[in-house]
Structure 1
Amino acid sequence: MNSPSSQPVTAVPAPSGSALEARLTRAWLKRGPLACALWPVSLLFRLISGVRAALFRAGVLKSSRLPVPVVVVGNIFIGGTGKTPLTIWLVQALQAAGLRPGVISRGHGSKDTAPRLVDGSATAAQVGDEPLLIWQRCACPVMVGRDRAATGRALLALHPELDLILTDDGLQHYALQRDVEIILFDGRGAGNGWLLPAGPLREPVSRRRDFTVINAPQLTPALQASAGANGAAYQMVLAGDYAEQLCNRQQRTTLAELAARPALRVVAAAGIGNPARFFSMLKAAGLQVQELPLPDHHDFLDRPFAALEADLILMTEKDAVKCAQIEELRDDPRLWVVPVTARIDAALAAQIVEKCRGRSFA
């Protein structure tokens, strides 16, 4: 790495969309005037969503079952809570147990209506950044599509060897029947506990599930309460120990080595659902960073790094899959990727396998 300049990092303004999203999220964490004003509307939202779920349970609205077990990884807190790292961990844990899982996803931003297989020729704009990252990290079949039941059938037609389907998100996609439901929370817990638009929840905390995973370095009583009264709860910790240069992934340095160089001007950029999680992880490693929060699924076409005076720009893997497909960004030597690994009790994967044994694997 080149010797850093001793000049301070230039202040990084947050994009307006990201700032607005952050203000709204903060309002959802407490029962303030705005939340209270919207509370009557949230009662209507709860009624509509509850009736819809009841119609699927009663068979009035039709749902499909795939010939293999289906595990849904989702959330009721709107926005990102860490589903992709959890899905990657779960795929790898199931592979280690001798299973052959495939993954289906909506594919955020994809304009295709028909199912599409994720492969080396796919771009994040075509299939979504998260499915592309899952495919890169897990080397398992991944397919995106608007109709998850049709997408699951299409994936099984192409890969009949699969014996389990994981759906990344889609908890409220009741048209696809599932055998195991995992609900994920992060350090924000259930927020103020109210449904949209008065709070951040799509469904009540009391919603049934098989397992709850809480993505937080410490489990406070408030976070444990978000698990509700049903389903076993597990803690997930995201750990990142090193950074890789985007233009040369063989070039690697540890976060501890970066922290030992205080004169280094470091910007941390994150276009994920909760950028604060990424920034907190870097600060916990001893790094002094200038924060650049970006909207979730940011496409980087606005070239947000062009005017930055920084020696190093640290980013998430989810952002890196898009930057690697933009020529001027993938060749920028300042861009470094911080891979994270989910750490969860291995008993979670074992219990999921046990629950799926009630159905025959393909």
Structure 2
Amino acid sequence: MKATLSSRLLSAWYRDAAWLKGLVPLEWLYRGVVAARTRAYASGRKPVWRGPIPVIVVIVVGNITLGGTGKSPLVAWLARWLAAQGYRPGILSRGYGGRSHAYPLRVQADTPVGECGDEPLMLAAQTGVPVVVDPERPCGARRLFEEGCDILISDDGLQHLALGRDIELVVVDGERGFGNAHCLPAGPLREPLSRLTGCDALIVNGHSRKVLPEPYYEMHLRPRYWRRLVDDTRLEIGAQPFSGRVHAVAGIGNPERFFTTVAALGFEVEPHPFADHHEFRAEDLAFGDDRPVVMTAKDAVKCRDLTDTRYWVLDVEACPEQRFIDWLERRLECLVEISRVEQSPSRER
């Protein structure tokens, strides 16, 4: 029921259903609250935490829409890319859907998903870099810096203004864009579109079918592996472990994207959408036949105790265009140079 209501509301936002006009007065109330909160941080009435010099680089990856954009794959790519460049990255998350007895929570391979949330556990497995969960992001950031991280990626942190940032990256779904361009509850926007003017880069997941503000960079999600859930056996995408009709399950912000991806690999898909962050149980995957069940990596961390050999994970990876990578390299070089100037003896004098 929850998934059905959520999907209906998202569908209304992205096709601009006529009945949403009745929610516009509530939208303006919501906009006022967002604007007042933003002014409070900008004016200093609410404190903003900044990382210590020389550890200065905080990259915030987020979105201004509800409904899933492909943000987490970009976070995973960033972490791996930064590590390959010689940085010591760490990932900070609010840990949506998890509840721990103590924070900050350092995510380990055996951390229960009920404590840390599904996305942090997935990102820890995909990247191998330190992942810390804390609803108070500045506290989590300090923990990562204490562990030796020299660059921090804040996952879904755009609206968490208490954490200072050096780079803001906004991800948008290319097919759905910004929907009807209204804020909650009349539309899918968490913040007005004017928020984009203060961000550093807009990244579009897939080819855009909407009119989007220039400039922007494109990225694509590429299927990478088939992974059998019971033993983590990996197969390259070309080596299909099954054929024909499959059950595809997805408890993510935009399940249709996953179903389309599986179908593009040559399978007949029977889709099973669930609410975002759905807590899977064995009965959720009992479809009364012997066909394979394919799921996302995010859903897989909540199903890892299920031992059915028919369960397979489709692992995907973000592939940003080279222009974005070149831009990011230049921006990081600039930030590092500023850090050196801030530390120089002449500056201290």
2:51 to 59, 66, 72: 66
Using the alignment, how far apart are the partners of 1:172 and 1:123 within structure 2? 27
Using the alignment, how far apart are the partners of 2:11 and 2:25 within structure 1? 20
1:80 to 53, 68, 74: 68
C-alpha offsets along residues 111-161 of structure 1, whole Å, 9 cap, x if unaligned?
A: 23521101122021111111111111111111000100011012222x12x
Other-structure match for 2:231: 248
Other-structure match for 1:40: 25
What secondary structure is seen at the aligned counterpart in 1 of 2:193? Answer: coil
What secondary structure is seen at the aligned counterpart in 2 of 1:90? Answer: helix
Using the alignment, how far apart are the partners of 1:91 and 1:73 within structure 2? 12
Other-structure match for 1:354: 333
Shift of 1:308: 3.4
Using the alignment, how far apart are the partners of 1:123 and 1:86 within structure 2? 24
Q: Percent identity?
A: 38
1:104 to 92, 110, 114: 92
Contact 2:250-2:258 at 8 Å conserved across structures: yes
Contact 1:29-1:192 at 8 Å conserved across structures: yes
Contact 1:84-1:168 at 8 Å conserved across structures: yes
Q: Which AA in structure 1 matches 2:113?
A: A
Q: Which AA in structure 2 matches 1:145?
A: D
Shift of 1:253: 5.9
What's the RMSD between the two structures over aligned residues? 2.0
Contact 1:255-1:285 at 8 Å conserved across structures: no
What secondary structure is seen at the aligned counterpart in 2 of 1:86? Answer: helix
Using the alignment, how far apart are the partners of 2:286 and 2:131 within structure 1? 33
C-alpha offsets along residues 217-247 of structure 1, whole Å, 9 cap, x if unaligned?
A: x223x2x51xx35xx4111111115412111
Q: Which AA in structure 1 matches 2:274?
A: L
CA 1:92/1:33 → structure 2, altered by over 3 Å: closer, same or farther?
same
Contact 1:265-1:310 at 8 Å conserved across structures: no
Contact 1:271-1:295 at 8 Å conserved across structures: yes
CA 1:302/1:355 → structure 2, altered by over 3 Å: closer, same or farther?
farther
1:296 to 276, 297, 301: 276
Q: Which runs of 5+ in 1 are unaligned?
A: 1-15
Contact 2:104-2:143 at 8 Å conserved across structures: yes
CA 1:118/1:348 → structure 2, altered by over 3 Å: closer, same or farther?
farther
Q: Which AA in structure 2 matches 1:44?
A: L
What secondary structure is seen at the aligned counterpart in 1 of 2:124? Answer: helix
Shift of 1:343: 0.7
Q: 1:211 and 2:201 equivalent? A: yes
1:317 to 289, 292, 297: 297
Contact 1:255-1:287 at 8 Å conserved across structures: no
Other-structure match for 1:148: 137
Q: Which AA in structure 1 matches 2:88?
A: R
C-alpha offsets along residues 43-94 of structure 1, whole Å, 9 cap, x if unaligned?
A: 1111110121011111111111112211100010024211110000111111
What secondary structure is seen at the aligned counterpart in 1 of 2:154? Answer: strand
CA 1:351/1:315 → structure 2, altered by over 3 Å: closer, same or farther?
farther
Q: Which runs of 5+ in 2 are unaligned?
A: 344-349
1:338 to 305, 314, 323: 314
TM-score by length of 1: 0.86
CA 1:277/1:70 → structure 2, altered by over 3 Å: closer, same or farther?
same
TM-score by length of 2: 0.89
Q: 1:279 and 2:259 equivalent? A: yes
The count of aligned residue pairs is 331
Shift of 1:41: 1.1
Contact 1:256-1:285 at 8 Å conserved across structures: no
Other-structure match for 1:21: 6
Runs of 4+ in structure 1 over 4 Å off: none
